[in-house]
């Protein structure tokens, strides 16, 4: 879709929500004026704390201009006819209303620093970014289309794991996205992931850690098992740094931790290496 | 709590009395056969009453029964088995066992999650909860099977991947993610059987397969019922309720097209006839391998891709939720 339409979509919701003009930084307690916070990509200007960010906001800070969304027509179903405190369709409707999103990921194509890229951005505000059939299907469609176009793919993750309310259909999305990733990468295409807070469970145990280059945002919580589950299992409290991006960097699990304000230029540099490498291969094979 | 505990006590008591009577009549001339027959019919009656129509939560307990055959029982019933150890990086995780073997003369790579049958073994096997080192062993063996050209046969039995500090420090996510890749790319037939409990990505790491078999009372779910209850309601004690919601039974998953075949169990569960069940499962695995034999590696990879591509594909199943 052309720029103004999706830009409106991202702004439409947040204006009503911003009745409160100020946000308190949960890390340092600084009172931040909402408009300044948005201008600073939702990073606290005092301590650098990274707030969670909406998918359309994120896309607007990453792509140069136009963003062509794909897979938006893929909508949630209720395969298990799940109902606990609330029915699953009611939970979905509530999240659609609150987040302004149709599901937990927005996918499409755009340019980043002048380079073509496929881009998928997960959003924690929709069902905690959990992966059900729609997230799995949209990621798969994105990778299939990127493979046809021979375009590198970048996925921003934010996920509490597989979506319980879709049961085994949700677990099968790990298999489905893995199949799409392996076909995409098997043809020599490059996949980059940017892990944002939080990235756990089924998403971290599939495409998040199947990528060629894995970047994380500062302070992001990243792991397989959630903190509460581990604490209950071992019956002790975990250190604060455990499972943070910085902890994972130290342990050698990720390539780099990059401040949100530098992520676009970092991605552009990686895309440049990829394009230059591809050009060299093409010339060498002539 | 085990929903069968009380009735199991009654069954054990009946079994003891039947055996006593049998022993008594063996060296005495009096005929007790009608008494024995009466007790036996009472035994069958209770069995049917208790296990005739198990609920999902009851199935979870049948699947976790300490006497239910575990991966090693299936592996021991192969014609031959040569265990291979370790991840080549750090250690040999005993929660997963793997190696080459022969199944009815056919060379295979057998890989199984192994829980313990008693406390001591449970500690050594970490209750069948595999750590990253174990998943790296699994991945290595899957790659090795591809290089040898022998099919992969897995036995799934885990509540989920190990959720400990060391597992996180050793990149549990990455280990599972790469095991998924290895199974997706394996150029040999894969047959997976859920022999006990299949919980979450920790089970799926051995579960991407051309044919997926489940035992009648095995369970397979996106998270263990306890895990699901903790995630959704921050209360693991609501596991029974979660088990009802998750649609984790073999019958549900067959209906959804997520598994391909169900192997029937005797009334009361596989633990009542371990040898018979092991034989029957290996027969079905062998039949599945025979059927997959005629496909070339590229045909297998294409069919496997299409199989998982369709899983929960939009527009094929239920109508979209309105809104």
Tens of pLDDT, residue by residue over A42-65, are 999 999 999 999 999 999 999 999
Q: What percentage of chain B reaches a pLDDT higher than 70?
A: 96
A123 touches chain B (CB under 8 A): no
Q: Which of B52, B74, B89 is the last residue of a domain?
A: B52
* A contacts of B231 (beta carbons < 8 Å): 160-161, 164, 226
Give the pLDDT confidence score for residue B319 in this predicted structure.
42
Tokens coding A132: 């059900």
Q: Of B192, B291, B68, B253, give the one whose Cα is nearest residue A80.
A: B253
CA nearest to B223 within chain A:
A164
The reply to whether B191 falls in a domain is: yes
CA nearest to B316 within chain A:
A77
Tell if the CB–CB gap between B318 and A77 is shorter than 8 Å.
yes
* B contacts of A207 (beta carbons < 8 Å): 177
A89 touches chain B (CB under 8 A): yes
* A contacts of B242 (beta carbons < 8 Å): 164
Chain-centroid distance, C-alpha B175: 21
The reply to whether B258 falls in a domain is: yes
Give the pLDDT confidence score for residue A10 in this predicted structure.
54
Element (H, E) at B16: helix B5-26
Same domain membership, residue B67 and residue B47: no
Residue in B163, B204, B304 nearest the CB of A230: B163
| Structural domain count of chain B | 2
* B contacts of A222 (beta carbons < 8 Å): 173
Mean pLDDT on A197-221: 98
Q: Rounded to whole angstroms, how far apart are CA atoms B19 and B307?
A: 51
Tell if the CB–CB gap between A162 and B222 is shorter than 8 Å.
yes
Give the pLDDT confidence score for residue A8 in this predicted structure.
52
A249 touches chain B (CB under 8 A): no
Mean pLDDT over the full length of chain B: 93
A265/chain B closest Cα distance in angstroms: 26
CB A142 within 8 Å of CB A181:
no
The reply to whether B168 falls in a domain is: yes
Give the pLDDT confidence score for residue A53 in this predicted structure.
96
Give the pLDDT confidence score for residue B318 in this predicted structure.
44
Residue B279 has pLDDT above 70, yes or no: yes
Residue B178 has pLDDT above 80, yes or no: yes
Same domain membership, residue B300 and residue B213: yes
Q: Does B137 or B117 have the greater pLDDT score?
A: B137
Give the pLDDT confidence score for residue A235 in this predicted structure.
85
List, in sequence order, every residue forming a beta bridge with A193; answer none if it has no partner.
Answer: A155, A214
Give the pLDDT confidence score for residue A9 in this predicted structure.
54
Chains A, B: CB contacts under 8 A, how many? Answer: 198
Element (H, E) at B186: none
Mean pLDDT on A100-112: 97
Q: Which residue has the tokens 């990921």?
A: A105
Residue B16 has pLDDT above 80, yes or no: yes
The reply to whether B314 falls in a domain is: no
* A contacts of B251 (beta carbons < 8 Å): none
A123/chain B closest Cα distance in angstroms: 18
Mean pLDDT over the full length of chain A: 93
Mean pLDDT on B51-60: 93
Mean pLDDT on A154-178: 97
Confidence category of residue A36, pLDDT binned at 50, 70, 90: very high
Residues 183-212 of A with CB under 8 A from B: 183, 186, 201-202, 204-210
> Chain A interface, mutation test: which of B133, B146, B180, most A Cβ atoms within 10 Å?
B180
Same domain membership, residue B244 and residue B279: yes
Residue B272 main-chain phi, psi, to 5 deg = -85, -10
HSE-CB for B95 with a 13 A CA cutoff: 24
Confidence category of residue B35, pLDDT binned at 50, 70, 90: confident
Q: Rounded to whole angstroms, how far apart are CA atoms A281 and B10?
A: 74
Which ipTM was obtained for this model? Answer: 0.93
Confidence category of residue A227, pLDDT binned at 50, 70, 90: confident
Residues 17-46 of A with CB under 8 A from B: none
B18/chain A closest Cα distance in angstroms: 43
Tell me the domains of chain A and their CATH numbers.
3-13+53-284 (3.90.226.10)
* B contacts of A135 (beta carbons < 8 Å): none
Same domain membership, residue B228 and residue B282: yes
pLDDT, one tens digit per residue, over B133-177 is 999 999 999 999 999 999 999 999 999 999 999 999 999 999 999
Mean pLDDT on B65-76: 97
Residue in A82, A93, A205 nearest the CB of B323: A93
Same domain membership, residue B191 and residue B133: yes
CA nearest to B164 within chain A:
A230
Residue B24: which domain range? Answer: 5-52
**Helices B239-246 and A167-186 meet at what angle, rounded to 10?**
60
Same domain membership, residue B70 and residue B38: no
Residue A104 has pLDDT above 70, yes or no: yes
Same domain membership, residue B114 and residue B254: yes
CA nearest to A202 within chain B:
B201
Residue B321 has pLDDT above 50, yes or no: no
Give the pLDDT confidence score for residue A17 in this predicted structure.
52
Give the pLDDT confidence score for residue B320 in this predicted structure.
45
* B contacts of A72 (beta carbons < 8 Å): none
The reply to whether B247 falls in a domain is: yes
Distance set, CA A156 to CA A6, A104, A140, A194, B189 (Å): 18, 11, 15, 5, 34
Same domain membership, residue B44 and residue B185: no
Residue in B165, B174, B321 nearest the CB of A89: B321
With a CB cutoff of 8 Å and minimum separation 6, the contacts of B199 are: B158, B159, B160, B221, B223, B224, B227
pLDDT, one tens digit per residue, over A255-265 is 999 999 999 99
Q: What percentage of chain B reaches a pLDDT higher than 90?
A: 77
Secondary structure (DSSP) of A171-240: HHHHHHHHHHHHHHHHTT--EEEEEEEEE-HHHHTTGGGTSSEEEE-TT-BB-SS-HHHHHHHHTSPPPT
How many other C-beta atoms can be found within 10 angstroms of the C-beta atom of residue A148?
Answer: 8
Same domain membership, residue B20 and residue B105: no
Confidence category of residue B32, pLDDT binned at 50, 70, 90: confident
Give the pLDDT confidence score for residue B10 in this predicted structure.
85
Supply the CATH number for residue B176's domain.
Answer: 3.90.226.10
Same domain membership, residue B45 and residue B67: no
Give the pLDDT confidence score for residue B200 in this predicted structure.
96
Give the pLDDT confidence score for residue A19 in this predicted structure.
54
Same domain membership, residue B153 and residue B249: yes
Q: Rounded to whole angstroms, how far apart are CA atoms A214 and A159?
A: 16
Residue in B177, B233, B311 nearest the CB of A176: B311
Q: Rounded to whole angstroms, how far apart are CA atoms B95 and B113?
A: 6
Give the pLDDT confidence score for residue B11 in this predicted structure.
86
Give the pLDDT confidence score for residue B1 in this predicted structure.
60
Residue A14 has pLDDT above 70, yes or no: no
Tell if the CB–CB gap between B321 and A176 is shorter than 8 Å.
no
Q: Rounded to whole angstroms, how far apart are CA atoms A259 and A62?
A: 13
CB A204 within 8 Å of CB A195:
yes
Q: What does pTM read for this prediction?
A: 0.93
Q: Does B106 or B33 have the greater pLDDT score?
A: B106
Same domain membership, residue B65 and residue B44: no
The reply to whether B322 falls in a domain is: no
The reply to whether B319 falls in a domain is: no
Confidence category of residue A232, pLDDT binned at 50, 70, 90: confident
Confidence category of residue A251, pLDDT binned at 50, 70, 90: very high
Residue in B233, B245, B308 nearest the CB of A82: B245
Residue B225 has pLDDT above 60, yes or no: yes
Tell if the CB–CB gap between A175 and B248 is shorter than 8 Å.
no
> Chain A interface, mutation test: which of B130, B138, B192, B201, most A Cβ atoms within 10 Å?
B201
Q: Does A133 or A237 have the greater pLDDT score?
A: A133
The reply to whether B315 falls in a domain is: no
CA nearest to B243 within chain A:
A167
Residue in B204, B256, B309 nearest the CB of A140: B309
B132/chain A closest Cα distance in angstroms: 11
pLDDT, one tens digit per residue, over B246-278 is 999 999 999 999 999 999 999 999 999 999 999
Mean pLDDT on B116-136: 95
């Amino acid at each position: 879709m052309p720029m103004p339409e999706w830009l409106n979509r991202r702004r439409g919701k947040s204006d009503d929500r911003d009745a409160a003009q100020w946000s308190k930084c949960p890390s340092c307690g600084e009172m931040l004026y909402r408009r300044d916070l948005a201008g600073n990509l939702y990073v606290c200007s005092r301590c650098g704390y990274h707030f969670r960010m909406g998918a359309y906001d994120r896309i607007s800070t990453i792509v140069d201009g136009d963003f062509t969304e794909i897979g938006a027509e893929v909508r949630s179903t209720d395969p298990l006819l799940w109902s606990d405190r609330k029915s699953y369709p009611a939970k979905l409707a509530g999240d659609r209303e609150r987040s302004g999103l149709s599901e937990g990921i927005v996918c499409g194509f755009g340019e980043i620093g002048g380079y073509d890229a496929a881009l998928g951005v997960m959003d924690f505000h929709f069902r905690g970014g959990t992966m059900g059939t729609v997230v799995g299907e949209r990621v798969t469609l994105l990778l299939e289309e990127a493979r046809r176009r021979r375009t590198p793919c970048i996925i921003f993750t934010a996920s509490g794991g597989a979506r319980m309310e879709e049961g085994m259909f949700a677990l099968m999305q790990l298999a489905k996205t893995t199949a799409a990733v392996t076909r995409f990468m098997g043809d020599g295409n490059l996949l980059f992931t940017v892990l944002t807070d939080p990235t756990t469970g089924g998403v971290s145990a599939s495409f998040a850690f199947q990528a060629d280059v894995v970047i994380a945002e500062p302070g992001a919580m990243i792991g397989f098992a959630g903190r509460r589950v581990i604490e209950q299992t071992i019956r002790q409290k975990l250190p604060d740094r455990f499972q943070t991006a910085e902890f994972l960097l130290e342990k050698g699990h990720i390539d780099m931790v990059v401040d949100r304000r530098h992520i676009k230029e970092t991605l552009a540099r990686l895309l440049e290496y990829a394009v230059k490498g591809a050009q060299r291969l093409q010339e060498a094979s002539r | 709590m085990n929903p069968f505990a009380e009735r199991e006590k009654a069954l054990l008591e009946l079994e003891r009395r039947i055996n006593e009577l049998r022993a008594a009549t063996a060296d005495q001339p009096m005929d007790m056969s009608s008494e024995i027959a009466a007790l036996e019919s009472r035994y069958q009656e209770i069995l049917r009453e208790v296990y005739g129509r198990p609920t999902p939560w009851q199935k979870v307990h049948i699947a976790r029964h300490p006497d239910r055959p575990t991966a090693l029982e299936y592996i021991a019933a192969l014609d031959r088995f040569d265990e291979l150890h370790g991840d080549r990086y750090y250690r040999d995780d005993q929660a997963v066992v793997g190696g080459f073997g022969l199944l009815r003369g056919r060379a295979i790579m057998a890989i199984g999650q192994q829980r313990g049958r008693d406390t001591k073994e449970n500690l050594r096997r970490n209750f069948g909860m595999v750590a990253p080192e174990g998943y790296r062993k699994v991945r290595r063996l899957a790659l090795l099977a591809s290089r040898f050209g022998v099919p992969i046969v897995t036995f799934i039995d885990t509540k989920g991947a190990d959720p400990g500090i060391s597992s996180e420090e050793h990149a549990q996510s990455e280990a599972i993610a790469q095991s998924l890749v290895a199974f997706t790319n394996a150029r040999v037939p894969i047959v997976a059987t859920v022999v006990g409990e299949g919980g979450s990505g920790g089970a799926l790491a051995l579960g991407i397969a051309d044919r997926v078999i489940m035992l009648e009372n095995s369970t397979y779910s996106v998270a263990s019922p306890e895990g699901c209850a903790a995630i959704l309601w921050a209360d693991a004690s609501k596991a029974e309720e979660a088990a009802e919601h998750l649609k984790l039974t073999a019958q549900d998953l067959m209906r959804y097209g997520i598994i391909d075949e169900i192997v029937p169990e005797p009334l009361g569960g596989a633990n009542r006839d371990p040898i018979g069940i092991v034989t029957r499962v290996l027969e079905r695995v062998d039949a599945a391998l025979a059927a997959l034999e005629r496909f070339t590696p590229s045909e297998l990879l294409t069919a496997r891709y299409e199989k998982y591509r369709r899983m929960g594909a939009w527009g094929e199943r239920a109508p979209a939720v309105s809104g």
